[in-house]
Every structure is written in structure tokens, then in C-alpha cells.
Amino acid sequence: MDSGRGASIGVDLPVENRSQPPRHGRKRFHWAMVGFYSLTLLLFGGFSTWDDYRTSLHGAERNTANYVRLLEEHAKRTLEAGDLLLQRLLDRVAVKGAQGVAASREDWEVLAAATAASPQTGALFLLDAGGVVLFTTHGFPADSGVNFADRDFFRAVADGAAEPFVAQSFHEPGTGKVSFAIARRIPGPDGRFAGVAVATIDSEYFKAFYGELGFSEHVAFGVYKHDGTILVRQPMVPQDVGRKIPANAPLLKLMPTQPVGIYRAVSTYDAFNRIVAYRKSDTPAIVAWVATTEEDALAGWRQRLARNSALALASIVLMTGLSLMVLRGIHREEKAATALSALFDLSPLGMIRSDMEGRFLAANRAFIDMSGYPARELTELSHGAITPNRFAAEDARHWQSLLAQGRYGPYEKEFIHRDGWCVPVRLNGVRVTSGDDTYSWTIVEDITERLAAENALRDKTDQLARSNAELEQFAYVASHDLREPLRMVTSYVTLLERRFGDQLGPDGRDFIGFAKDGALRMNRLILNLLEFSRIGRDHQPVSPVAVAEVVRAAIKDLCITIDEASASVTIEGDLPTVSGNAEELTRLFENLIGNAIKYRHPGEQPLVKIGAMPGQDGWWQLTVSDNGIGIEPEYHQRIFQIFKRLHGRDQYEGTGIGLAMCKKIVEQHGGSIWVESNLDHGSRFCFTLPATSTDAGDAPHV
Ligand code: ADP
């Protein structure tokens, strides 16, 4: 890792901003795209809908203008057809005179047949100068009682109005049908007014004609006189017969200046918004109009509007849905990145990203704190630049492993803090390849505290071992040295007894006996203490020990005691081979078997049983049971402490060191010892010893 030491560095990412990709920008851009799409759709849709609306209305206007041309033409042809019949009637009158025609059945038949053959024309009438009907195609002879002198056409024609005169609509006498009429003047021989010839035109004819064209029921039309007198219209109510439309009606206002036109108005009949087209003709003097409804004109447009709106809405919903899905993806990415960033920032472990030359590219807060370098300065440094020289070789070896195997460590070294002192650290790292980019991540653990704790523990252990050794040395030396003056006491008391025994009275001899006894007990105590302090001192190597052998050796040592007490010592089942020190284990069994015999019920044969069973994880549990006096549970712990006895010397001889020695021996072997007992129910001493590795798996070392 020395490769980057002191080199100038090209940093690809500022340390502080290491994990902040521009996700908010992505989100904004995304919504902007959705907004732009929706706006474009709405603008384009709005414009094309408006255009469609205009086109639909223009189309309707064109159609209405075409209809009115048709109606005007038809009205003119209809009036011409009626006028032709009038001409024929006038021709006959010119030959025969009005009275002559009225009296001629032959003329009547001809004219009635011609009228019947003309679908437009209802009937022909011939009136005299007084308005009396002389002739009518309805019947022959005419009913002379009927007089039309009060009709508009009669007066108008009599007054010399332009011909043919178009008369207002009326209910035909006899049939009751609504018709209107055209009339011509009958000149007398002297040229004076001699009567009127009239042809009636059935308004139903117009309606039938328009009905055949299959227009919408909303299409209205009409044929009026120039002054607004209604000749025919659809729809038409009875009151319309002979009526004039109001003088302020748009049609009457427009017509004088524009003979052909188109306008919009709200119908007074059905309140529809209407497109009205009209055409004015001078011969005959009529105006034809057709009105379509905006409702019909825009029906197709409305359908398209509904369909296009639904499509636009669906596409905006779809686009928004897709966007939400994409944004959810971005959100998930963001959360993962935030978690990663938090992990990076909050990790108590230092984290460093560096290039393959060891130059720092990014570092987290923990490493910044650990190294003491501010983020800006770290980007100028490398692993090698802040490592003491003595680690250079090891660094190079690990960096080589990173290049070859993609990972390195864990290993321990030091970094140089910015303030100059060394920080002990534990490193491990991996190589990461992302696209063309290859870099390394290193986890840095500050092990200052761990090392301090380890050192403190090591110091304590050494201290403890030293003081234990000193204590053991002291106990050994003390017990060894104490025996010397004791020996002197014993030998001089014996000398005293031998030389002056005869001169002493019975009390003196008793005192000498007590002194000798005390010296003997003290000697035993010192010997036991010496034995106790020797346990573990010899550092005998641990070896496989057949428990049956050490038990046999212990029984052999105790044979006198066993004989005296007539005790029975039996081994139950097979005894294992354990890992340990044969001499110490013999002493262990000696103590336990000796106690089992010593603490027997008076007058009862002591029965001692020795057994073993496999324990957990490569250990054996061994037991020494007896049928003796037993121990109250409250003393089960106490009896293993040195010098702790439950009985006086007058009851049972002893020093109180035996079980303490047993405990020390078992614990030296890594095991534990305890007793299971109740007063008067015998005792069972249990202890664990490690099995040999071949015997029961891996045994711990003693
Ligand atoms: P001691 O020299 O007194 O035998 P030990 O340490 O061997 O010292 O035993 C401590 C005490 O434990 C004894 O004084 C005795 O009261 C009790 N003890 C030990 N072994 C037995 C046993 N097998 N049955 C009953 N009591 C026992």
C-alpha cells in the first residue's frame, strides 16, 4: 500500500458528498415530463376540438345553405306549375269569357283533369269582378254563393298588384286544408278589371317533398312572402295561417340588404339554437328559409369530443400510473441509498473507498474521526501516506492479495493520526468493480481499546500468577521450615521423658504425653499443608491415566485402614482412562475413600463404591459413595474450604485439609467437585475429569 505514498491525487468524488446522487432532479424531471405530456395533449386536444367544432358548424352552415337553395327552387317550380294552370284558365277565359268558361262542362272537365294531374295545385277558381266564384275545379257548376271579395289577393289584384300575386295562406273551404294561392287579374274586353283567376297550392305538398328528403326532425323550413306573411312552414301551428312574422324578426331585417344570407338565432318555436339560411326571390316574390339546429350540427362533434376526452383522460391516467410506478422504483432506490448512506455515515467502523493505488476517494465520519484528517485533506492522501514505515512490507503483501484475490486482511497495523500519534487498527478490504471503474472498500476498526484491555488482562494474569507462585513458595517454605523446630521439640520432649521420666509424677508424665501428641499433630498438619501446597507445583506432564489403576493404588495405600474398619471398597462397572496426573489422582481417591471409611456409622460396616459415567463434551463424571453419617446440605459448600471441619477431634481425627486438597486437584484438571448427601444417609462425592482424546473426543488440556 506504499504505492500511493505522497503522490498527488485525482479525486473522483468529494468525501462529504460521496453518496448523494441527483435523485430529486430525476423526480422533478419525471414530473415535468408528465406535465409536459399532459399539457401538450390538452393543448393539442383543445385546439383540434375547437377546430372540429368550427368545421362542424361551417359544414352545417354549408348544408343549410344547400337545403335552402333546394327549397327555393322547389317553391319557384311549384308556383310556376300553379301559374301554368292559371294561364290555361285565362286562355279559356280570353276565348269564351268568364261566364262562358263557367258554363262549359267541357272546359271544366279539361281544367279539372289538368289540376288533378298537377300534384302541387289544389284547385282553380274563377271570380267575377265582385269576388263571386264563377268556376272551380272542385265541382261543376260552381256554387255561386261563395264570395272571395274579402281576400287579400282579390283586392290586391283588383288594385293592379304585380302578377302572379302570391296570396296568404288560408283554410280551404270544403276541405279545410291549409293552402295558399296565386292569383292573376282577368282583364275585361275593355281592359278593365273583370275578375280574378286563382290557383291554390297545398302546403302539405311542401312538407311531403321535404319529408321525402329524410331530414332530421329538428330541421325547420318555410316559404314567406317578402313582408313576412307565412305561406308554408314546418313546424306550423293553426294560428300561423295567414299570419305575418314579427317585423323585427332577423329575416325581415336582413332581407332588404342581403337577398341571400345565413344567420344564427334562437327559435321562438322550440328554443333551439338554429342556423338559418334564406334566399329571396323576386319572381315570384317569396323568400325561402331552412333552419338546422346547432344540436344536430354538433352531434358528431360531441361524440368525437366525448371519445377523444375519454382517450386523453385514459392516456393521462396511464401516463400518471406509469410515472407513479417509475417513481416508486426511484423511491425504493432512494430508500436503499439512504439506508446505505446512513450505514456509511453512522457506522462505528471506519470505511474508506480508495482507488487501486491506495489513494482515498471517500471516507465516512468514523474514519475521519479516527484519523483526525478533515475530509478535504483525506482526499489528498493515501493508505501509504498515513502508515508508519515499519508496516510497509506487510501492507504491500496484503495489497498484492487484494489485486490477485479481490480481498485482503483481516490484519492489524497502525495509522498515523494527524496529530502525529499512532492509531492501532484492524483492516480488511474488498475490490469492487462497477462498469469500467475498479476501486477498493476497506473496513477500519480502531482497536486501541481492545489492545488496552488485552494488555491490562495480560498484566493482571501475570500479576496473579506471580502472587500465586509467591504464596505457594511461601507455604512450601514455611511448612518445610516449620518441621525443623518441631523435630527439635519432639526430640527434646522424648529425651526429657527418657532421662527424667522416673522422677516425674503421673501428672508430669501426662503433660509430656500431651506435648508429644501436640507435636505429632502439628507435624501431620504441616505435612498435609506441604502436600496441599505441592499440588500443581511439579508441573507434571498430563498423560492418559487409567482410573482403575489409581483407585487400586489408593486402596493399597489405605489397606490397614480398610482392614481395621472391615470396610468393603468396590468398583462398579468399568472405570475410564482420563487425562491427568496419576500421582495427584491417587491422592484424590485416597482422601475420598479414607473419608468414606472415617465418617462411618459406628457399629456398621462401611461400604464404599466407586463408579464412573460419561459426562458432556468429552468429560467423565466419577463418584465415591459411602453409607456413612452423611452431611447436612447447608455444609455442602463449606466442607471444601481449607481447615473447615464439621466435627471435633474427640469425635473424628483430622486436619480439615483433605477435601480442600481434592478440590484443588480436580480444578487443576479443569473439572469440578461437589457432594450429594443428607445427614445419616451416606454421601456421594462427584467430580469431573477430562477424557483422553481417543476416549471421548477432544479433551481440554489440564
Ligand atoms: P478432615 O481432616 O476433617 O477429614 P476433610 O477436609 O477431609 O477434613 O473433611 C472436612 C469435613 O467434611 C470433615 O470434618 C467431615 O465433617 C466432612 N466429611 C468429609 N468426608 C465425609 C464423608 N465421607 N462423610 C461424612 N462427612 C464427611
CA angle in degrees (0–180, nearest 5) for 661-666-668: 95
Q: Which helix (H) or strand (E) holds 431?
A: strand 422-434
Please state, as a whole number, how many other Cβ atoms lie within 10 Å of the Cβ of residue 339: 10
**Residue linked to cell 501492507:** 395
SS3 of 528-574: HHHHHHHCCCCCCCCEEEEHHHHHHHHHHHCHHHHHHHCCEEEECCC
624 ligand 1 Cβ < 6 A: no
Mean pLDDT of all residues in 528-539: 79
pLDDT value of position 19: 43
What residues have CB less than 8 Å from 348, skipping those under 6 apart? 366
Q: What is the DSSP string of 632-672?
A: -GGGTTGGGSTT--SS-TTTS---S-HHHHHHHHHHHTT--
Task: Please determine, for residue 385, whether its predicted confidence score (pLDDT) is greater than 90.
Answer: yes
Mean pLDDT of all residues in 522-528: 87
Q: What is the distance between the alpha carbons of residues 271 and 269, in angstroms, rounded to a whole number? A: 6
**Residue linked to cell 480444578:** 667
pLDDT value of position 16: 40
Instruction: Let me know: does 671 contact 663? Beta carbons within 8 Å.
Output: no
417 ligand 1 Cβ < 6 A: no
pLDDT value of position 24: 64
Mean pLDDT of all residues in 346-362: 91
Per-residue pLDDT tens over the stretch 407-416: 998 999 999 9
Q: What is the DSSP string of 227-286?
A: T-BEEEEES--GGGTT-B--TT-HHHHHTTT-SEEEEEEE-TTT--EEEEEEEEETTTTE
pLDDT value of position 14: 39
Distance 561 CA to ligand 1 centre (A): 16
pLDDT value of position 372: 94
pLDDT band at 688 (very low <50, low <70, confident <90, very high): very high
The best mutation among 627, 638, 639 to test binding of ligand 1, ranked by most ligand atoms within 8 Å of the C-beta, falls on 639
Instruction: Let me know: does 136 contact 98? Beta carbons within 8 Å.
Output: no
pLDDT value of position 20: 45
Mean pLDDT of all residues in 124-149: 89
Task: Please determine, for residue 15, whether its predicted confidence score (pLDDT) is greater than 50.
Answer: no
Q: Which residues pair with 195 in a beta bridge?
A: 128, 186
pLDDT band at 279 (very low <50, low <70, confident <90, very high): very high
Cis omega (within 30 of 0) on the bond before 141?
yes
Task: Please determine, for residue 53, whether its predicted confidence score (pLDDT) is greater than 60.
Answer: yes
Per-residue pLDDT tens over the stretch 420-464: 999 999 999 999 988 888 999 999 999 999 999 999 999 998 888
Task: Please determine, for residue 578, whether its predicted confidence score (pLDDT) is greater than 90.
Answer: yes
Task: Please determine, for residue 6, whether its predicted confidence score (pLDDT) is greater than 70.
Answer: no
The best mutation among 591, 598, 649 to test binding of ligand 1, ranked by most ligand atoms within 8 Å of the C-beta, falls on 598
Task: Please determine, for residue 12, whether its predicted confidence score (pLDDT) is greater than 50.
Answer: no
Task: Please determine, for residue 179, whether its predicted confidence score (pLDDT) is greater than 60.
Answer: yes
Q: How many CA atoms lie within 13 A of 542 on its CB side?
A: 18
The overall average pLDDT reported for the chain is 87
626 ligand 1 Cβ < 6 A: yes
Task: Indicate the range of 59-63, 75-79, 231-235 predicted with least confidence.
Answer: 231-235
Residue type, 540: Q
pLDDT value of position 666: 96
